């Protein structure tokens, strides 16, 4: 093991400061001793901060219409080879009921950015699901602050809005007609409104560097996110990035593990994208820092059309199949399925003198 790697790992796990170059150093963990040491520490932090419980968040992908043109995503508006669907509020509610019967304590409503669902329609849907006694997470992209406010009043507990990449230039290249500043403004509103906020990023985007990934991890810490979804980029043939190679699974695990060390209290899912690149990807992620799985609750007939990237797992399954599959997976790892909603656990970080390089820029944006 390189001496510098060992020293950095020891310093970070002891809570003696995390600088950007420390994060980069940890991300360069070499296969063998270094990766093993990193994963051992990530698993220990996971156990210490968020425990042995694995939270199941049932996801309803209720519309694949999207007004955006993100260059990596199969749902982009320009992809006219996709059958588009919208679930009615009644169908969404029926899926949520199934989720409650399956024991899920959180229902996630996810869609492309689809203005067909007005703020009022979604508010009523949220309120109806809250009647079932579960936590509700929304993941419907950028909307006016008033919409976020209405949904919060309707009872929504959490909001997922991935920052996708903390490099503003790369962000601009990937997202035509969108801005990184706007993204951060939305995250700021959501926090102000009292949501438990989740963000996250992709790994292996074209042109992305280890410094960019370190900035992703430090941004998650800066934002004090309650959740962070980290997954590999997977090229979709009907997108402009279809010819680029997929992100590395090993690098994704390293980003996940380092995130657990730097944002120890966060809920970190073993993402579907990790499960798509490797049959035991989610198990590996759960042993390297993750403590959440997001089973698919979407009715089988719609699943094949929520094709963010190709090869997505669980396309031929129904909600009950995923429930049973995950129970087995979690038990086989010696972990337990949580029986409560698993709200945010934000606690003071293990270090008091941590000063990220990006603090100035981000806090300026957060105040503007």
The residues of the shown chain that bind ligand FES, judged by CB under 6 A, are 295-296, 314, 317, 321-322, 325-326
Measure CA 110 to chain center.
12
Contact in structure between 230 and 200 (CB atoms under 8 Å)? yes
Of 62, 233, 302, 306, the one binding ligand 5AD (CB under 6 A) is 233
Percentage helix, strand, coil, to 5, in the chain? 40, 15, 45
In the complex, the smallest distance separating the C-beta of residue 295 from ligand 5AD, rounded to whole angstroms, is: 16
Find the binding residues for ligand 5AD in span 62-91 (CB under 6 A).
72-73
In the Cβ-directed half-sphere of 222, how many Cα atoms lie within 13 Å?
26
Find the binding residues for ligand 5AD in span 254-273 (CB under 6 A).
273
Interatomic CA distance for residues 174 and 222, integer angstroms: 23
Centre a 10 Å sphere on the Cβ of residue 338 and count the other Cβ atoms it contains.
20
In the complex, the smallest distance separating the C-beta of residue 314 from ligand FES, rounded to whole angstroms, is: 3
x/- track of binding to ligand 5AD for residues 187-216 (CB under 6 A) = ---------------x--------------
Find the binding residues for ligand 5AD in span 313-342 (CB under 6 A).
none
Hey, CA dihedral for 55, 58, 63, 65, is it positive or negative? positive
Contact in structure between 262 and 13 (CB atoms under 8 Å)? no
In the complex, the smallest distance separating the C-beta of residue 296 from ligand FES, rounded to whole angstroms, is: 6
Measured from the CB atom, the residue of 138 and 322 that comes closer to ligand FES is: 322
Interatomic CA distance for residues 252 and 258, integer angstroms: 10
Whose tokens are 């809920």? That residue is 267
Interatomic CA distance for residues 254 and 263, integer angstroms: 14
- Name the segment binding ligand 5AD (CB under 6 A); options: 34-42, 166-174, 228-236, 322-330: 228-236
- Name the segment binding ligand 5AD (CB under 6 A); options: 145-153, 174-182, 233-241, 331-339: 233-241
Give residues in contact with ligand 5AD (CB under 6 A): 72-73, 162, 164, 202, 231, 233-234, 236, 273, 308-309
């Amino acid at each position: 093991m390189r001496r510098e790697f060992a020293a950095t790992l020891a310093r970070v796990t002891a809570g003696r400061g995390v600088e950007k170059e420390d994060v980069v150093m940890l991300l360069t963990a070499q296969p063998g001793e270094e990766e093993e040491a990193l994963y051992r520490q990530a698993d220990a932090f996971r156990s210490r901060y968020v425990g042995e419980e694995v939270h199941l968040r049932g996801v309803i992908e209720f519309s694949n219409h999207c007004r955006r043109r993100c260059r990596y995503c199969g749902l982009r508006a320009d992809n006219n080879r996709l059958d588009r669907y919208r679930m009615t509020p009644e169908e969404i509610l029926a899926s949520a009921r199934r989720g409650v019967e399956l024991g899920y304590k959180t229902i996630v409503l996810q869609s492309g950015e689809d203005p067909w669902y007005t703020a009022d329609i979604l508010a009523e849907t949220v309120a109806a699901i809250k009647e079932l006694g579960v936590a509700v997470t929304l993941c419907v992209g950028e909307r006016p602050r008033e919409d976020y406010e209405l949904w919060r009043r309707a009872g929504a507990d959490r909001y997922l809005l991935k920052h996708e990449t903390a490099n503003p230039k790369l962000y601009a290249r990937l997202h035509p007609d969108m801005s990184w500043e706007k993204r951060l403004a939305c995250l700021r509103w959501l926090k102000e409104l009292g949501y438990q906020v989740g963000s996250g990023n992709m790994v292996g985007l074209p042109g992305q560097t280890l410094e960019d990934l370190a900035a992703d991890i430090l941004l998650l810490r800066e934002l004090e996110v309650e959740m962070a979804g980290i997954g590999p980029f997977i090229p979709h043939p009907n997108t402009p990035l279809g010819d680029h190679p997929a992100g590395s699974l090993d690098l994704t695990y390293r980003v996940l593990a380092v995130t657990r060390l730097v944002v120890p209290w966060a809920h970190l899912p073993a993402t579907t994208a990790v499960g798509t690149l490797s049959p035991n990807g989610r198990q590996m992620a759960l042993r390297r820092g993750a403590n959440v799985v997001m089973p698919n609750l979407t009715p089988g007939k719609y699943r094949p059309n929520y094709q963010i990237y190709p090869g997505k797992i669980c396309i031929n399954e129904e909600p009950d199949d995923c429930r049973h599959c995950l129970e087995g997976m979690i038990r086989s790892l010696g972990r337990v399925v949580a029986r409560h909603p698993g709200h945010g656990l934000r606690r003071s970080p293990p270090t008091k003198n941590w000063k990220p390089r990006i603090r100035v820029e981000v806090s300026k944006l957060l105040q503007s």
